[in-house]
Structure 1
Amino acid sequence: MKVKQIVYILLVVGIGALIAYRIKSNAEIGKNVDSGPRITTVSGMILKPQVFKDNIAISGTLEADEQIEIRSEVSGVVESINFKEGSKVTQGQVLLKVNDIELQAQLSKAQTAKKLASENERRAKLLLEKQAISQEEYDIASADFQSASSEADLIAAQLSKTTIRAPFSGTIGLRSISMGTYVTPSTVIAKLVNTDDLKITFSVPEKYASQVSVGTVLTFTTSDSEEEYKATIYAIDPEVDITTRTLRMRAITDNRENGLYPGAYASVKLPLATINDALLVPSEALIPVQNGKRIFVYQNGKAKEVDVQIGARTGKAVRVLTNLHAGDTILTYGVMALKDGAPVEVKLEEFESLTNVQ
């Protein structure tokens, strides 16, 4: 019995000690609660209007100003090749000669027939003047002469097509034929490209279409170089593509130094309007929410949530379009854990200009 009593006594003492500990802990928590909410220290900045050159970054493709596939309009065996692959050629320069022996023979035959028809027409005219033949017989002779003349002209035109000339000046590419190759109108001989000027084709979202016009100067870079080039918009499609909701445009750039190649990717920076009183905030100050973006503003010692709409971005800043005003103090760093109405202490910092004026 004594052992059992000792166990009961120890159990009562242990329970009592636990209750005393919990009472003391709750009292300390109550003191902490009574001391007031913890004030969070965050970084902030005062909004100031800035000059901002709005622009958008889009992708484009470089295209040759003029580009064709050289083909023969007549079928035949290649008799001579008069160009070197990759060389410059001038407009009208002979590039290729197709064997024309058969056409020469056909032309000779057609010219003989034309001469005979011409003589028959002359004689019929004299006989008609003497009323020795009818008007109908003369008309037949005249028609024969005109038909023979057309046949000779047709063969002469085909004969001229056996000499293939460059339609414009440019650089001719790699040839796909050799001497003696039988070519047809479907045979690609080589490509001729004029790269002195290059076109850049790109599409702009429809909401920016009204801010771009012919004559706008843009800048672009290519994937193989960090050099920045300039181009001028010279043509704009008359309608928006209903599938992509974009408007196609085309600019041209000087490439006489041959630093660019058709078909290359171009990263285009297209300037839009210049805003003289834009409000820019650091990108880390914006909090993504379901319906857009949110930012904290410092008011009366507390953090206040403000829903905002944003515009263009630079590398480190975003333009805010709504619900902020010049002179507002926005919270920029340490805001992810804040709640609306939380007391804060703001450490104002001077931020370097966020504008992208160049």
Structure 2
Amino acid sequence: MSHDASIITRTPKLGRAVRIGLALAVIATIAGVSVRAYDYHHVVAWTHAQVTPSVQLVTPESGHGLQAMTLPGHLDAWISAPIHARVSGYLKSWSRDIGSQVAAGQSLAEIDTPELDQQFEQAKASLVRAQANARLAVLTDKRWKNLLASNSVSKQEADEKAGEAEAAQANVLGAQADVDRIAALEAFKHITAPFAGTVTARSTDIGDLISANNESSPALFTVSDTTRMRLYVEVPQGYADAIRPDMSVQLDVPDHPGEQFTGHLIGNSGAVNQASGSLLAQFEVDNPRGELLPGAYAEVHLPMAANNHTLTVPATTLIFRAQGPQVAVVDAHNKVVLRNVHIAMDLGDRLRIDKGLQAGDRVINHPSDSLAQGDAVQIALADDDAGKAE
């Protein structure tokens, strides 16, 4: 009886241990499944985040006040005269070189013209001969008129002598004109400055053969007045209305970094060049210190009134595809919406859009080429926001 009783008393203890072991096994199994489920969802979320592209957003800015558009321009001297020879010969000497300041009428060079000198002497001799013939013809005319009064000669003969006297006087006038013409050419032996300015080119030297009748011959000198400059700007047709009377522009030149000059509108061509599609505008720029050089390149800042109906976005937001210019906008569900836009003005690093965007739109900056309509995206934090999140 005692042996059976001991067996009966140990059986409940063994059953309790089994139940506890089973419970622990079930708890361990549930915990393992939960951990695996958590890891699975974490991996799925991480994979989804890696697949969904991250984008940076910008907000369009409204136009206000005056804005400037930068256009290329070039500078020319206010007056620039290439000086050619009017007489043929050899260059005898020159007295002014490039960079020299000259006054109006100041001599630049002298041409040796032996042939012209001989023609001048011949013309003066012809004048003397014509004057002598004229004096003789006048005396003869007087004598024949006296003879006619006494009926010693006929009226016909007297009229002939009178005509010869008039012809001799005309020959004197012709000879005098020829002398004056050659004397004027003799004056062209001295090449002079037509106005006060700077010698910007000298294309001859002592001993050079000078030909006055060769149209292809280069200019001997070039004199330019650079106290004022002419600034020429090609304005695209779409912005031609920005050219207004009495307007002023600011310009920069590469050889004077950080310094700006002011130009005042003189006028415009009044017509659009069909080849370039632009309107030529001309400005006057004061240059009292000679800092601006003829032929120089300039960046011209053309003021333009802002349009309240336009929005400004960075040029890096633009997408070029077969549909034309587009931008990618993110909607409230973080889905991509492609918008067709119209560029009212290209400012280089910025674009002014007058169709296709609204104030407050979230525009993707630097969109990828593979971005498509309806793609899900995630918004990348800006640098300052990322710092706060950390």
Please classify the TM superposition score into its range, dividing by the shorter chain length. Answer: 0.7 to 0.9
| 1:139-154 matches, cutoff 5 A | 139-154=166-181
CA distance in 1, matches of 2:95, 2:366: 73
Q: Does the CA-based 8 Å contact 2:127-2:172 persist in structure 1?
A: no
Corresponding position of 2:261: 229
Structure 1: segments with no counterpart, 5+ residues = 1-23, 352-358
Corresponding position of 1:91: 104
Corresponding position of 1:207: 238
Letter of the structure 2 residue corresponding to residue 93 of structure 1: Q
Corresponding position of 1:9: none
Letter of the structure 2 residue corresponding to residue 310 of structure 1: I
Deviation at 1:171, TM superposition (A): 1.2
Corresponding position of 1:279: 311
User: Cα gap change, 1:180/1:102 in structure 2, threshold over 3 Å: closer, same or farther?
Assistant: farther
Q: Are positions 1:116 and 2:132 aligned together? A: yes
Residue of 251, 254, 268 corresponding to 1:220: 251
Letter of the structure 2 residue corresponding to residue 153 of structure 1: D
Deviations 1:170-220 (A, max 9, x none): 112454444454423246432222222222333222222233245432233
Q: CA RMSD in A?
A: 3.8
Deviation at 1:39, TM superposition (A): 8.0
CA distance in 1, matches of 2:55, 2:108: 74
| 1:285-324 matches, cutoff 5 A | 285-290=317-322, 291-299=324-332, 302-314=335-347, 316-324=349-357
CA distance in 2, matches of 1:69, 1:346: 65
Corresponding position of 1:268: 300
Letter of the structure 2 residue corresponding to residue 133 of structure 1: D
CA distance in 2, matches of 1:98, 1:207: 54
User: Cα gap change, 1:144/1:181 in structure 2, threshold over 3 Å: closer, same or farther?
Assistant: same
Deviation at 1:88, TM superposition (A): 0.4
Corresponding position of 1:106: 122
Greater length-normalized contact order (CA 8 Å, ≥ 6 residues apart): 1
Deviation at 1:51, TM superposition (A): 0.8
CA distance in 2, matches of 1:301, 1:184: 80
Comparing 139-148 with 36-45, greater Cα deviation is found at 36-45
Residue of 266, 276, 282 corresponding to 1:244: 276
CA distance in 1, matches of 2:105, 2:349: 54
CA distance in 2, matches of 1:42, 1:187: 63
Letter of the structure 1 residue corresponding to residue 107 of structure 2: V
Question: Normalised by the size of structure 2, how large is the TM-score?
Answer: 0.67
Deviation at 1:297, TM superposition (A): 4.3
Corresponding position of 2:159: 133
Deviations 1:103-134 (A, max 9, x none): 55234314413533553564476468766224
Deviation at 1:262, TM superposition (A): 1.7
- Helix, strand or coil at the partner of 2:177: helix
CA distance in 1, matches of 2:318, 2:311: 13
Q: Does the CA-based 8 Å contact 2:61-2:313 persist in structure 1?
A: no
Q: Does the CA-based 8 Å contact 1:107-1:156 persist in structure 2?
A: no
CA distance in 2, matches of 1:128, 1:204: 81
CA distance in 2, matches of 1:228, 1:252: 14
User: Cα gap change, 1:74/1:40 in structure 2, threshold over 3 Å: closer, same or farther?
Assistant: closer
Residue of 52, 57, 76 corresponding to 1:63: 76
- Helix, strand or coil at the partner of 2:357: coil
| Aligned residue-pair number | 321
User: Cα gap change, 1:47/1:246 in structure 2, threshold over 3 Å: closer, same or farther?
Assistant: closer
Q: Does the CA-based 8 Å contact 2:123-2:175 persist in structure 1?
A: no
Letter of the structure 1 residue corresponding to residue 105 of structure 2: G
User: Cα gap change, 1:55/1:137 in structure 2, threshold over 3 Å: closer, same or farther?
Assistant: same
| 1:341-356 matches, cutoff 5 A | 341=374
Q: Does the CA-based 8 Å contact 1:297-1:306 persist in structure 2?
A: no
Corresponding position of 1:19: none
Q: Does the CA-based 8 Å contact 2:55-2:379 persist in structure 1?
A: yes
- Helix, strand or coil at the partner of 1:225: coil
Corresponding position of 1:75: 88
Deviation at 1:91, TM superposition (A): 0.6
Deviations 1:329-356 (A, max 9, x none): 31345854765445667689899xxxxx
CA distance in 2, matches of 1:129, 1:148: 27
Question: Normalised by the size of structure 1, how large is the TM-score?
Answer: 0.73
User: Cα gap change, 1:280/1:107 in structure 2, threshold over 3 Å: closer, same or farther?
Assistant: same
Structure 2: segments with no counterpart, 5+ residues = 1-35, 147-154, 385-390
Deviation at 1:147, TM superposition (A): 1.8
Higher strand content, 1 or 2: 1
Deviation at 1:151, TM superposition (A): 1.6
Deviation at 1:296, TM superposition (A): 0.3
Q: Are positions 1:193 and 2:219 aligned together? A: no
Deviation at 1:319, TM superposition (A): 1.6
Letter of the structure 2 residue corresponding to residue 254 of structure 1: D
